[in-house]
């Protein structure tokens, strides 16, 4: 649906986007992930024809952003960062204005506005003045505006900023419903959001794509934590050798605490190592204190990738 090829954008000497290429399939939800200033918004602005690229091309559906800019804008619904609204207009009036601009037929404007207001739960604030709305409501008006003309592509720059947890949940559900009709690109720096909403994540840093994988692939590595009561006669080494023979271990961290051995086992290729471990434990007579499996979180992945890239500590960024 969206094809980005060798896209670059320079602001003077600053390379905001540096030769990136990717494509988004129809019906997919793509998460655009990266620290602040990574070039997410710039890429989105180029796709929506707000600013031209320095080099490279983008096509949305059958249309190219240079030669068919108007058609591109016709099939895209775009929510810029911070959801800017005209502060003096009322919600309904604003949506009607936007519908007019987007070429929604006169006879359908009312129906469309009611539909999007219903989807975004803003029907009861229809006569409020935009400028008086809270951040969450403004964000929702912005999202409603995006969907007015039933676009085939939705491009949302940080859509869940300012929403409370309940609203975030509703919004995610809305995206899942929308995927029947639309392709969605979401940018965010909140990792859990990508994890929960998107099919695929594109991690971008300093204008370059540093990872492009499906969420499943990104979080495929699993870790099993096992803690057992210190068995008599067996040393830590012996037990870890036993574990290593049992499953294919990528990495094994072991530690000894008062009265217990603790292992953190990263497995390779195995779906779940817990079953094998518990059988072994019964056989050997280990007393299991704790046995749990954890997914490597996207946070860790993101952190690893970005650290690999520039060798800096990104904890501060991820923490947001």
Partner 1 sequence: MPSSIRAIWTIFAKELSSFFTTSVGYTVILGYVLTTSLFFLLILKILSEVSSIPPTQRPLSIFYKDYLILFIFMFFASILSMRLFAKEKETGTIEMLLTVPVTDWEVVLGKYFATVAFYAVCISPSLINSLVLFRPEIAHNLMKTIILPTLVFLPLIIVVISWVSPKRTWPVLAAVLAGIFVFVVLLRGFHFDRITQRIAFIPDDQIDSDNDGMSDVWEDMYGLDPARKNAREDPDGDGDYNFKEFVYGSSPVDPGSNLTTLIVKTVQPENVLRKGDEDRDKDGIPDKYEKWLGLSAEDGSDALADNDGDGDSNLLEWRYNTDLTDAAKNLESKFRGHLPIKHIVKKDFRDKDNDGMPDRWEESYGLSSSEDDGGIDEDSDGYSNIEEYHYRTDPTLSESRPSLPESKAWFLHIASYILAAGLFVFISYGYSARQEDRISYLLKYGGVSCIVLTAVIACVFIFLPSSVKTGRIYSLFLFWGFVPFFAAVTCTLSRLALLSRSRLNAAAVSIFLFLVFRLFWAFFIAEKAVSQPDVGITLSGYTGGLLVGAFFIAVGIFFSSLFKNQINAAVVMFAFLVILFLTQFIPSVIPSAEPLKPILDHYSFIRLLAQFTDGNIHLGNLTFFISAIVLFLFLTVSVLGIRKWK
Pairing outcome for strands 55-60 and 208-214: unpaired
Specify the stretch interacting with partner 1 by CB under 8 A; choose among 72-80, 171-179, 207-215, 224-232: 72-80
Considering the complex, what minimum distance in angstroms separates the CB of residue 203 from partner 1? Answer: 23
User: Cβ atoms within 10 A of the Cβ of 285, count?
Assistant: 9
Measured between its terminal Cα atoms, the distance across the chain in Å is 31
Decide whether 67 or 294 has the Cβ nearer to partner 1.
67
Binding mask 91-110 for partner 1 (x = CB under 8 A): ------xx-xxxx-------
Q: Which residue has the tokens 């809305």?
A: 174
Pairing outcome for strands 14-24 and 183-188: unpaired
Q: What's the CA dihedral at 131, 132, 137, 140 to 10 degrees?
A: -20
280 binds partner 1 (CB under 8 A): no
Considering the complex, what minimum distance in angstroms separates the CB of residue 152 from partner 1? Answer: 13
Total site size for partner 1, rule CB under 8 A = 33
Q: Which residue has the tokens 């604003």?
A: 94
Closest CA to 84 of 149, 142, 162, 161: 142
Specify the stretch interacting with partner 1 by CB under 8 A; choose among 124-132, 200-208, 236-244, 307-315: 124-132
**3-class state of residue 10 by DSSP:** strand
Considering the complex, what minimum distance in angstroms separates the CB of residue 128 from partner 1? Answer: 10
Considering the complex, what minimum distance in angstroms separates the CB of residue 260 from partner 1? Answer: 56
Name the residues that contact partner 1, by CB under 8 A. 11, 45, 48-52, 70-71, 73-74, 76, 78, 80-82, 84-90, 97-98, 100-103, 127, 129, 132, 145
């Amino acid at each position: 649906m969206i094809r980005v090829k060798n896209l670059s954008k320079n602001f003077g000497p600053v390379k905001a986007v540096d030769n990136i290429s990717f494509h988004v399939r129809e019906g997919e939800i793509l998460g655009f992930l990266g620290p602040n200033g990574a070039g997410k918004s710039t890429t989105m602005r180029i796709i929506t024809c707000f600013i031209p690229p320095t080099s490279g091309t983008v096509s949305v559906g059958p249309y190219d952003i240079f030669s068919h800019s108007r058609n591109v804008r016709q099939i895209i619904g775009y929510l810029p960062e911070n959801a800017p609204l005209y502060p003096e207009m009322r919600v309904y009036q604003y949506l009607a204005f936007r519908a007019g601009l987007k070429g929604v037929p006169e006879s359908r404007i009312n129906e469309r506005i009611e539909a999007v207001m219903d989807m975004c739960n803003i029907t009861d604030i229809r006569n409020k003045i935009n400028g008086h709305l809270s951040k969450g409501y403004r964000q929702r008006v912005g999202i409603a505006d995006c969907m007015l003309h039933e676009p085939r592509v939705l491009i949302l720059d940080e859509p869940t900023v300012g929403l409370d947890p309940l609203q975030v949940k509703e919004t995610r559900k809305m995206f899942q419903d929308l995927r029947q009709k639309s392709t969605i690109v979401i940018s965010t720096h909140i990792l859990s959001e990508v994890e929960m909403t998107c099919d695929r994540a594109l991690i971008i840093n300093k204008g370059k794509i540093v990872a492009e994988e499906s969420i499943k692939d990104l979080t495929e590595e699993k870790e099993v934590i096992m803690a057992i009561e210190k068995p008599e006669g067996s040393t830590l080494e012996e037990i870890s050798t036993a574990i290593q023979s049992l499953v294919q271990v990528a990495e094994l961290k072991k530690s000894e605490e008062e009265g217990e051995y603790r292992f953190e086992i990263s497995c390779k290729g195995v779906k779940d190592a817990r079953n094998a471990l518990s059988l072994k434990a019964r056989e050997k007579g280990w007393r299991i204190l704790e046995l749990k499996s954890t997914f490597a979180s996207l946070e860790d992945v993101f952190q690893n990738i970005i650290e690999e890239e520039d060798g800096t500590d990104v904890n501060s960024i991820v923490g947001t």
